[in-house]
Amino acid sequence: MGNLLSALHTWVIARAHSGSILLRIDDLDVDRCKDEFIEGIIEQLQALGIDWDFGPSSLSEHKSNYSQPNHFTYYLNELQRKLGPEEKVFACECSRKQLGKFEGNAYSGTCRDKGIPLTDSDVSWRMLIEENSKIIVSDFLLGEREYDLREICGDYIVRRRDQIPAYHLVSLLEDTRNQIDLVIRGEDLLESTATQLDLAKRLNLEQFGKARFLQHSLLSDEKGQKLSKSRGSFALLAKDLAEDSTRKRVFTEYLKWAGLKMRAQSKNQPKAQPETANEILELFLEI
């Protein structure tokens, strides 16, 4: 449900401001990102009446033109080509088990000075983060927030041990080459935004630094906990959204979450229940 509301929010804001929408499906993890998952995303959005201007309209089109594993070589070449001469990437041999022993989320720098060759097998590549490496994230809703990268993540990964480009690198390069100027996502990704802004500076990708960010609150349950499949929340499938009652439920949840009020039909009638994404957009335009 949370991902659907975020997608609907992006669609409403973009359409309200005559913006264009890019559908990007992150499928770096080939083993985990199954065809039915990708197809399900496309079908869910279509069932809700959400359209987009760029990106795949089918599974076959995604696999042919947009799948990220097709571009792994490009991502890593861009990393090496654009990295400034004063920046340093080092190899790290730490396993997940070893990293799990560290307190907090920030990498402690275990392999920073080991001099492990980048060409060694079974090593990740990390960006060396100096002390006092601070990044300011400016957000439409949350204002300016400053992050010290040494504290929130440390030397972050740009290539994984399995030689797959890291999410931060791929997301940054995709946003840059698609000329994205507005990024809308959950507030739980604020630290990811700070990391990507830092990487953009190191790769001299000025365009991403000029992008605007809107990081919204997360959909939560009665106890204030984020709704997610890992916490037992149910997932809506395209076949569920084919039912009018389910779509109406999604639209009602969106109105509550976004703080929009339903329009009253008349003094003697109940408030109108939105039945389409376009009706949600009309309510948004009345604000």
For position 101, what pLDDT does the model report? Answer: 64
Helix and strand element counts for the chain (H, E) = 12, 7
Q: What is the pLDDT of residue 232?
A: 47
Q: Rounded to an integer, what distance in angstroms lies between the CA atom of residue 172 and that of residue 184? A: 14
Measured from the Cβ of residue 211, the count of other Cβ atoms closer than 10 Å reads 17
Question: Percentage of residues in the chain with pLDDT exceeding 90?
Answer: 68
Nearest to 72 by CA among 116, 30, 25: 30
Q: Are 128 and 90 in contact (CB under 8 A)?
A: yes
**Domain 1-66+243-287 belongs to what architecture?**
3-Layer(aba) Sandwich (3.40)
When pLDDT is averaged across residues 227-251 and rounded to a whole number, the result is: 73
Q: Which long-range contacts (CB under 8 A, 24 or more apart) does 221-230 make?
A: 226/2, 226/188, 227/1, 227/2, 228/2
Confidence check: pLDDT of 98 > 90 = no
Stretch(es) of the chain classified as CATH 3.40.50.620: 1-66+243-287, 69-220
Any idea which residue has 């008349």 for tokens?
Answer: 266
Question: Average pLDDT for residues 167-190, to the nearest whole number?
Answer: 95
Residue 153 near residue 195, CB atoms below 8 Å: yes
pLDDT at 225: 56
Encoded tokens for 2: 């949370």
Task: Give the whole-angstrom CA distance, residue 64 versus residue 56.
Answer: 9
Domain 69-220 is in which class? Answer: alpha beta
Question: Which residues, other chains included, contact 272 with Cβ-Cβ below 8 Å and sequence gap of 6+?
Answer: 262, 263, 264, 265, 279
DSSP for 48-60, please give it.
Answer: HT---SBS-SSHH
103 pLDDT higher than 70: no
The model's pLDDT over 126-143, given as tens digits with 9 standing for 90+, comes to: 999 999 899 999 999 899
Which residues have C-beta within 8 Å of that of residue 235, sequence separation ≥ 6?
1, 229
**pTM as predicted:** 0.89
